[in-house]
Structure formats: structure tokens, C-alpha cells
Amino acid sequence: MIKIDFQIQPEDLQKKIALFWDLSAEKIRRIDKRYDSSKGSPVFTVDGKYTTRGWTEWTQGFQFGSSILQFDATGDNYFLESGRKATLEKMAPHLSHTGVHDHGFNNLSTYGNLLRLMMEGKIPFNEWEKSFYELALKISGSVQAGRWTPIKDGGFIHSFNGPHSLFVDTIRSCRILVVSHLLGHVLQGENDKKISLLERAVQHISATAQYSVFYGEGRDSYDVWGRTAHESIFNVTDGNFRCPNSQQGYTGFSTWTRGLAWAMLGFAEELEAFQQLNEEDLKNVGGKKETENRMLKAARATCDFYIENTPVDGIPYWDTGAPNLYKLGDYLNKPADPYNAWEPVDSSAAAIGAQGLLRLGKLLKENNEPDAGNKYWQAGLTVMNSLLDYPYLSTNPQHQGLILHSIYHQPNGWDFIPPGQKIACGESSMWGDYHAREAALYLKRIIENEKYYTFFKYLKI
């Protein structure tokens, strides 16, 4: 399990974070100059160079969003203009994309970050530009909500696998519905029926908490507290849950750690947003207290599982049930080894999960649970301390990636295995690099006592 450093403070990471942003600037500029965008959006690196992978276009917002985050952290206008220009010229198809569950990834990372910067006063205010970003977010949220599967006790945004498929990672993309709602938008259906985006968001969050997360009780009494399944399968005819499954993990009965991390961050972020809502807002979906309690239980459970089932340094292997982990011996009681001969680590899960730990920890400390909050907060700092150092931070100027040892799709064998190695290692992913930047920006703002970094604070509630 993670050996939580209860002494480390955000300020102790200041030098590492400064180096991180210096390296990040070099990586973004190198991709801008060298990447052939005619091949599609960059997904992951192969031998140190970003390449694409035909599946779905879910990473382009992370590419341009990284430039916007770089500007936020450094004030360098090159990155603002690069990110803003690319958003204007290339992101529109993502707003109307009806075939994916990734709107919260692509569009909040671009249009959302630009709107946030404007409302925070970090870029000049322009009414038309503001309205442009708001319209984009409104449309994106309603298009995402249109991928809807009704079930017996609510419904969910279904994955690109089809209407039977609930992905655990969509919990983080679900925030686009909340943003669209907070901007005053609704989805309109047949006969002009108005459909609440907030209610759909709550129903999706609740379905994820009920079916994607296991608690070792009731239906899943055979299982353990906080485990997640990547995919939950439903009978779309009668709305009944059928079984857990996995696409990118080992099995439906093991935990793909990036999916776990998406849940950790998704629940924690939505909890922060829901603190701003009142009872009236949530009366049609069970009430504010019940909704928040369900989310909080899922957030605690997933964060606890991550802490208990991750090596001491906070960097997880790609799946907690990966078949060859036993060959590594007592792997949970030593630092993760990305160069081992049996199973890959996934640093991108650490980059995502660290932010979930930090946000949940801060929320609990502010809600009069100092001990529990401190545990998660310090665990998040412990993970970041490892992630921002060797062997994860990429200091090689020829390597286009920022955070090394990310895994995309182990079951499909998509990841690059370097010469002399037996498993994939040494490569980066666009989502891993982006979320490392988010987490680094989050801590930078904490250290420098800036405005708290969230996706919703700039909205009128």
C-alpha cells in the first residue's frame, strides 16, 4: 500500500513543480513543431514521438488544453495563442460529436479552460468571446446527455460500445452536463420536452456509484471495498444490470487502475461542484443530502482502494489483478518498477488519481473531517512527489512526452515495447501529460494562494 508521507507539504514540491513547467513548455513546443496533425490527434508516444491511434478522437482536447494550462501556470502568451487558435480552428467537430462519451475531456479542457481564464481575469474580457465559449459548452453538454440509456432506477450516458455499456471513466466526462446546466441550458427532446442536464448528470453519477464501484456489501458482498469495474453491462430491453466487464483492464473482476483513477477524480470534483447547489436543485433526484452521501461513499471507497492496492510510492500497476503480478514478489511493499519483466505500471493513473485524492482530502478537511481529509490529502501529495521525479518526469529533450511509463491498452497490445525490454515502458500519453499538468497547476495555485482551481467556480450558480 502507499506509504503516506504525513510530513510533506505542498511547498516542498515547489522546485519540482517549477522544473515540471519548464519541461512542459519544451514538450509542447516540440509537439507543435514536429507533430503531423494530418494523421489525427496525438494519443501516445512510440519511441519518444507522439503518434495517433485510430479508435476515437478523445485526446485532442488534452493537446490544446495543455497549452492553455501552460499559459495559466507561466503567463507565456505563446501557449495562450496556440491553445486558443487550435480550439477555434479544430475543436468544433467535438462539440457535435454524437458518437463518443468524451465531451467533458475534449471540450472542458479547451473551451472550458479558456472561459475560466477569462472569468478569473487572466485573459482580457470580451463579451462575444465569452458567449462563444459558453455556447460551445452548452451544446457539448446537451449532445453528451443525448447518449442516454434508461434503466430501471435512472439512466446513464452510454459508451461508444453501445447503449448496453456504462464506462466508469465517463464519470469525469459527466461534468460537462453540470457546466451546461449551470450556464442555464437544457436538452430538448421530442415535442420540445425539456430534459434537465443536472438530473441526467445525477442519474449517471448514481449509476456509476451503484454499478461500477463495489463496496463488499449487498449485491457484491463477495467483493472488496472500493474496487471498480471498467464496464457495466445492461439489458437495454428491460433496464436490468447484467454483469461487470472490462475493455482496457484484465477482467471485469479485477480493477483497471486508470478506470479507478477516473472514478476517484470524477466523484471528488462533482462533490465540490454540488456543494454549491441547494436542496431545490436536487429535489427531483432524491435530494441533496442523499445525492452527496452516495457520491462521498464512492469517492472514499475508490480512494481507499487505490491507497491499499498501490505500491509504496503511489504509482500503480496497470491492473490490480494483472496475471503476472505475483512474479514481482511483495510488489505492494516496494516502489513500483516500470522496467520489470512482467507487468507495466501506469503513471497516467497516478496523475489522474493524485488529483482525486487531493480534492477529496481538501473537501473533507473543510467539512469537519480533519483526520480522514488529511489522509487523502497527504496521499495525494505523496503520489505527486513520486510522479514529479525520476523515473517518471521526462527530462530528455528528444522525448516528446512529459510523464513516462503510461499505458494505453494492454489487452490490445497497443503500447510500445522498447528494444531490450519485455513489457511496455518509457512512453507517455496525452491524457497522462494533461492530467499531470492539471495536478501541478492545482498545487501551484495552492502554494501561491491563488484562486482555487475548479471547472465550475467561474460559472454563475
Give the DSSP letter of residue 316: P
Burial class (CB in 10 A: 0-12, 13-18, 19+), 47: exposed
Percent of the chain exceeding pLDDT 90 equals 93
> Average pLDDT in the 401-412 region?
97
CATH for 388: 1.50.10.10
User: Distance between CA 238 and CA 221 in Å, rounded?
Assistant: 24
Order of strands, sheet of 231-235, starting from the edge strand that comes earlier in the sequence: 165-167, 231-235, 240-245
Is the pLDDT assigned to residue 459 strictly greater than 80? no
Q: Which residue from 433, 443, 314 is spatially nearest to 65, judged by alpha carbons?
A: 433
> Average pLDDT in the 322-338 region?
98
Is the pLDDT assigned to residue 226 strictly greater than 60? yes
Q: 62: domain range?
A: 10-447
Res. 38 pLDDT band, cuts 50 70 90 = confident
The reported pLDDT for the residue numbered 461 is 45
Residue bearing cell 429535489: 283
User: Distance between CA 170 and CA 158 in Å, rounded?
Assistant: 8
User: Distance between CA 149 and CA 234 in Å, rounded?
Assistant: 9
Is the pLDDT assigned to residue 421 strictly greater than 50? yes
The reported pLDDT for the residue numbered 246 is 96
Q: Cell for 297?
A: 461513499
> Average pLDDT in the 138-164 region?
96
Q: Which residue from 244, 363, 368 is spatially nearest to 300, judged by alpha carbons?
A: 363
Percent of the chain exceeding pLDDT 70 equals 100
Res. 258 pLDDT band, cuts 50 70 90 = very high
- Does some domain include residue 142? yes
User: Distance between CA 324 and CA 150 in Å, rounded?
Assistant: 39
Amino acid, single-letter form, for residue 441: L
The reported pLDDT for the residue numbered 460 is 60
Is the separation of the CB atoms in 149 and 158 below 8 Å?
yes
- Does some domain include residue 66? yes
- Does some domain include residue 249? yes
- Does some domain include residue 161? yes
Partners of residue 240 on adjacent β-strands: 235
Number of domains in the chain: 1
**For the segment 54-101, what is each residue's pLDDT rounded down to a tens digit?**
777 899 999 999 999 999 999 999 999 999 999 999 999 999 999 999
The reported pLDDT for the residue numbered 219 is 86
Q: Which residue from 351, 347, 353 is spatially nearest to 415, judged by alpha carbons?
A: 347
The reported pLDDT for the residue numbered 37 is 86
- Does some domain include residue 5? no
> Average pLDDT in the 1-24 region?
98
- Does some domain include residue 222? yes
DSSP E strand boundaries for 8-147: 44-46, 49-51
Mean pLDDT, the chain, whole residue set: 96
The reported pLDDT for the residue numbered 56 is 75
Q: Cell for 165?
A: 455499456
- Does some domain include residue 460? no
Per the omega criterion (within 30 degrees of 0), is the bond before 391 cis?
yes
- Does some domain include residue 453? no
